[in-house]
Amino acid sequence: MVNLTINGKAVQAPEGSTILEAARLADIYIPTLCYDEAVEVYGACGLCVVEAQGIPKLLRSCSAKVSEGMVVNTESERVVQSRKIAMELLMSAHDGDCVAPCQLNCPAKTDCQGYVGLIANGEYDAAIKLIKNKIPLPASIGRVCPHPCEKACRRKNVEEPINIAQLKAFAADMDLKSDSYLPECKPASGKTVAIIGGGPAGLTAAYYLTIMGHSVTVYDMMDKMGGMLRYGIPQYRLPKEVLDKEIAIIEKAGVKLVNNVKLGKDFTIKSLKEQNDAVIVAVGAWKSSSMRTPGEELEGVYGGIDFLRAVIQGNAPEIGEKVAICGGGNTAMDACRTAVRLGAKEVYVIYRRTRNEMPADKLEIDEAEEEGVTYKFLTNPLSFNGENGKLKSVTLQLMELGEPDASGRRKPVPIEGKTEEIELDSVILAIGQKLVAEDVAELTLNNRGNIEADPDFFTTDIDGVFAIGDATNRGASIAIEAIGEADRCARAVDAFLNGQALDTRVPYISKRDESTIDYSDRDKKSRITPKVLAPEVRNKNFDEVSLGFTEEEAQEEAKRCLECGCREYFKCKLLKVAQRYDIMPERFKGVMPQKVHPRRERLYREKHREVHSLRSVRAFLPRGHEPLLHRTARTRLYHRRFARVLTSA
């Protein structure tokens, strides 16, 4: 036996062993991708280098032998730098996706590809378990989410993106029809957390912290939990019976829900902190934004959020027969479609840009038009005109599109001297919402009037108090954004309660070069959309518009998925090493291994068919590396050692 020291640890290894073998005997990790009998002949990966005392150059631990008294460092600065460069060179040549674009574009980082694939196979129970890893309210979110995941779906390059949001709602509805899935909670930690606000952010944080073993109580000022999911989204889009069922599951998990209590009146942030180990502020944004247009104080002018909340609570205002909605987002669509259902005969949407620039979901825009809504594009209110304190009309400034602004959209500019007047009974301002600042006077606000919270740890200026959702930093956003924040905040609070450090580093993943992807071999299959109530039926009631997928429709739609992300993501050795170091492969962009000409590759395949069967090719790739193979005649192998075999043929 040979005695040596590795990373300060005394190690014994058989004479003739390599440093890598000695390290493994001592349970010391050295990354390597080439030390495998199946690939040994093809060269070295350059990752297993180590530094030995008294030897000027770095040694490859897979070939360097141990010697008596050797002192080895496997993680010195020189070693780490060398490995980073080796990994950067390898990954600069890697044109594979670790994670599908849909998942990357989801604010909650839901594994869209995973649950879509499970639905395609009819594995609904497994699908809902995967969804609930990130979203505890999937039936509700599936109905109302503006689905940024679909905007990144590569299926749109074939014909149309996968109907991901509706598939999520389908799986969740199937779950609600049975014994709804609940994960097993960890043993009780003895720690207590108070959450102020029972909207999507507060409920999500409560759900995950409860699963982590903490005792959680949610306090909310309204009669029922749900926040803007309940009081800001109409019944025809999100039936409150569905929301009630999902909240009941969260309560069943062990979350205590307390309603009709108001921050600043019944308790303070500091009083809750004195009684609990941590507090999360998720109060939302309940105040409608002002347009600062003359006449906003007139009777008949309503804020968008205020209007929707009043309707949902059964206190719908008298809006008359002629109604205008100012704004182009989803709240504006909710308001105009609600006005139609309340009996308004003429409903206008006033928007200063064109239809193409509207931020609202296209489906919402189209369905509103089908229900009788009239769009007044390239117009902007100059003044709301009244008589005896009551709204009578609106004067509109006609606009045209100028140069793009910071958002990339062309900026609307007034056409001098051109206006239009419309007689109205009421107008609804649906241009945004903001925090009620006086509710959180105990916390520091930023220059936007929102709670100042650390973007990674969600901490505020009070120790042990965290803040998330529409009330913080950038302000109001979509529900899935708040849910994603709440999930990350739950982990931050858990680390705080356990006295642990939280790693917020974003791990490296590989992404394909979109410009190199060829979709010509894909069969075109039309997107399947659930049936909806006819416009002449749905515009007279608040029944749910979408009838949802049948099982057959859901499976057929799910089968359209291109499966962009790597199936070996959780087992990939290459990715494990890449994520160990802060690598930047883009430094070597364009410095690629030698490519194989298709004709040379074809000739080599014909000469060595037994080697280039798919099974044989996989045999000499590192385990978990198979997804790097293209499934076409242009198959190329990305590591230099494999490319070298082909080009020498």
Residue 310: Cβ within 10 Å count: 15
Work out the average pLDDT over 283-299: 95
**pLDDT the model gives residue 604:** 46
pLDDT single digits (tens) 536-576: 999 999 999 999 999 999 999 999 999 999 988 888 888 88
The 10s digit of each residue's pLDDT in 200-234 is 999 999 999 999 999 999 999 999 999 999 999 99
Q: Given this model, what pLDDT does residue 570 score? A: 86
Contacting residues for 579 by C-beta, under 8 A, at least 6 apart: 507, 508, 509
> Would you say residue 595 has pLDDT above 70?
no
Residue from 414, 390, 410 nearest 401 by CA = 410
- pLDDT reading at 51 higher than 60: yes
Q: 195 phi and psi, to 5 degrees?
A: -120, 125
Non-local (6+) Cβ contacts of 487 within 8 A are 108, 134, 204, 205, 208
Strand order in the sheet with 278-281: 256-258, 215-219, 192-196, 278-281, 465-467
- What contacts 167, CB < 8 A, 6 or more positions away? 115, 116, 119, 142, 549, 554, 557, 558
- In this prediction, residue 631 carries a pLDDT of 32
**What are the tokens at 438?**
């006086």
pLDDT at 87: 86
pLDDT-above-70 percentage for the chain: 89
Q: 49-52 and 59-60 as β-strands: parallel, antiparallel, unpaired?
A: antiparallel
User: What pLDDT, on a 0 to 100 scale, did the predictor assign at position 405?
Assistant: 80
Judged against a pLDDT cut of 50, whether residue 128 lies above it is answered with yes
| Res. 168: pLDDT tops 50 | yes
Lowest mean pLDDT among 85-89, 275-279, 433-437, 563-567: 85-89
Q: What average pLDDT score do residues 282-286 get? A: 96
Say whether pLDDT at 593 is over 80: no
Strands (E), 180-220: 192-196, 215-219
* Nearest residue to 312 (alpha-carbon basis) of 425, 439, 196, 223: 223
pLDDT tens digits along 639-649: 333 333 333 32
For 426, phi then psi, to 5°, come to: -160, 160
Q: Which pLDDT score is estimated for 602?
A: 53
Taking residues 395-422, what's their average pLDDT?
91
- How far from 595 is each of 88, 256, 613, 641, CA to CA, in Å? 18, 61, 20, 12
Model pLDDT, residue 580: 87
Helix (H, G, I), strand (E, B), or coil: what is residue 622?
Answer: coil
The predicted model gives 494-520 an average pLDDT of 91
Taking alpha carbons only, the member of 635, 567, 482, 559 closest to residue 116 is 559
Angle at 262 between CA 259 and CA 265, to 5 degrees: 140
Structure confidence by residue, pLDDT tens digits, 446-479: 999 999 999 999 999 999 999 999 999 999 999 9
Domains identified in the chain and CATH numbers = 2-92 (3.10.20.740), 288-433 (3.50.50.60), 593-647 (no CATH)
Q: What is the mean pLDDT of residues 59-65?
A: 91
Which of 29-43, 342-356, 357-371, 592-606 is predicted least confidently? 592-606
Which burial class, exposed, middle or buried, applies to 502 when counting CB atoms under 10 A from its CB (0-12, 13-18, 19+)?
Answer: middle
Distance CA 221, CA 257 (A): 11
What is the distance between the alpha carbons of residues 358 and 624, in angstroms, rounded to a whole number? 43
Region at 582 (left for phi over 0; alpha for psi -120 to 50; beta for the rest): beta
Residue 43 in tokens: 């060269």
Beta bridge partners of 396: 381, 420
**CB contact at 8 A, 574 and 580:** no
The rounded distance, in Å, linking the Cα atoms of 372 and 355 is: 16
Q: What sign has the CA pseudo-torsion 592, 598, 603, 604?
A: positive
Task: Give pLDDT, residue 598.
Answer: 52
Arithmetic mean of pLDDT over the chain = 89
Q: What is the spatial distance between Cα 203 and Cα 132, in angstroms, rounded to a whole number?
A: 13
Report helix, strand or coil for 384: strand
pLDDT tens per residue, range 471-490: 999 999 999 999 999 999 99
Terminal CA-CA length for the chain: 44
Which tokens is 91 given?
A: 């990954």
Query: pLDDT value at position 406?
Result: 79
**Per-residue DSSP letter, 526:** P
Whether 58 and 74 have beta carbons less than 8 Å apart is answered as no
pLDDT for the residue 573: 81
Contact 262, 221 (CB under 8 A): yes
pLDDT at position 620, please?
A: 37
User: At residue 407, does pLDDT exceed 90?
Assistant: no
Residues 6+ apart with CB under 8 A from 132: 138, 181, 183
Average pLDDT rounded to a whole number, residues 12-25: 93
Cα separation, 433 vs 290, whole angstroms = 9
Span 321-348, pLDDT tens digits: 999 999 999 999 999 999 999 999 999 9
Average the pLDDT over 281-299 and give the result: 96
**Position 603 pLDDT exceeds 80:** no
Of 389, 400, 387, 398, give the one whose Cα is nearest residue 421: 398
What are the backbone dihedrals phi and psi of residue 630, each rounded to the nearest 5 degrees, phi first? -70, 150
Instruction: Please check the confidence at residue 632 and state whether its pLDDT lies above 50.
Output: no
Listed residue (308, 333, 284, 330) closest to 475, CA to CA: 284
Helix (H, G, I), strand (E, B) or coil at 301: strand
